[in-house]
Amino acid sequence: MQTTGEVVAKGVVERSFEFEADGENVPGILWRPESATSATPLVLLGHGGTQHKRTPNILGLARRFVRHLGYSAVALDAPGHGDRVLDKEAADERRRDLERRVTSESGSASMVRSADEQGAVRPFVAVGRAVREWSTVLDLLEKEGDVVDERIGYWGVSMGTMIGLPFVASEPRVTAAVLGLAGVSGMPGAEEREAAARRCSVPVLFIFQWDDQLMSRQTGLDLFDAIGSADKAMHVFPGGHVDTPLYERDAYNAFFLRHLGR
């Protein structure tokens, strides 16, 4: 892992880095308390589709976990996102298409409506590659010795759940996860996603929007039902895909404090 920059502001150390995985360069950010002298709990942050590691929501959550909880946080650019975009025109079109769907009448749209659209959306993100990259960054952070302890959580909704669910189900070092804004159907890989959900055994807080333009209510309920964890809760809010209220961040804090501690 190579450090590419570091900034300290308001008690938060923000360290940019990059590493190689499967022959591809992966950029990321590690946030740490400026006062930290030893390993802390760690939350991995998975961004949404067309977003990146420095999208405002990810930055806000990372700094909040550092300042409010004394945790560390990490975000990576998912394959084909952020600094890893190879075809800017195609990425811009995916972003515009997603924005059109999100701003449509609540509940009237879906992420994928036909077999042709499934073929078109399949390259949206390479889930298997992204899962391997998250495990690799944990390996690298563990080698540093004073960053990560055994208390590791994952936060990721929408595309962050498409990647995060199979990652959490297969990575024994992750002990709690916030997931949501996703369903069993509506995107390619439904069978694999449901199978991963059934393998998931860690505590889960699942977030869903009742009028989500991208996921039907039923497919969201189906995904929550499929999650195999004995300790799981679903928080549902009115409104569309991007309307989760900011006060729900208090619930994220409480959830991770309950399962990762101080």
pLDDT at 99: 65
Show the domains of the chain with their CATH numbers.
2-260 (3.40.50.1820)
* Helical segments of the chain, H only: 56-64, 88-102, 115-121, 127-144, 159-170, 190-199, 217-226, 248-260
pLDDT at 64: 97
pLDDT at 167: 97
pTM (two decimals): 0.89
Low-confidence ranges of the chain (pLDDT < 50): 106-123
pLDDT at 91: 62
pLDDT at 86: 73
pLDDT at 113: 42
Dihedral sign computed on CA atoms, order 42, 43, 46, 51: negative
Decide: 186 and 223 in contact? Cβ < 8 Å: no
pLDDT at 187: 79
pLDDT at 105: 57
State the residue for tokens 């190579």: 2
Q: What is the DSSP letter of 260?
A: H
pLDDT at 185: 86
Decide: 31 and 73 in contact? Cβ < 8 Å: yes
pLDDT at 121: 40
Q: How far is CA 82 from CA 53, 126, 156, 212, 232, in A?
A: 7, 14, 16, 25, 32
pLDDT tens per residue across span 60-97: 999 999 999 999 999 999 999 998 887 667 666 666 66
DSSP codes joined into one string, 49-109: TT--TT-HHHHHHHHHIIIII--EEEEEPPTTSGGG-S-HHHHHHHHHHHHHHHTSSTTS-
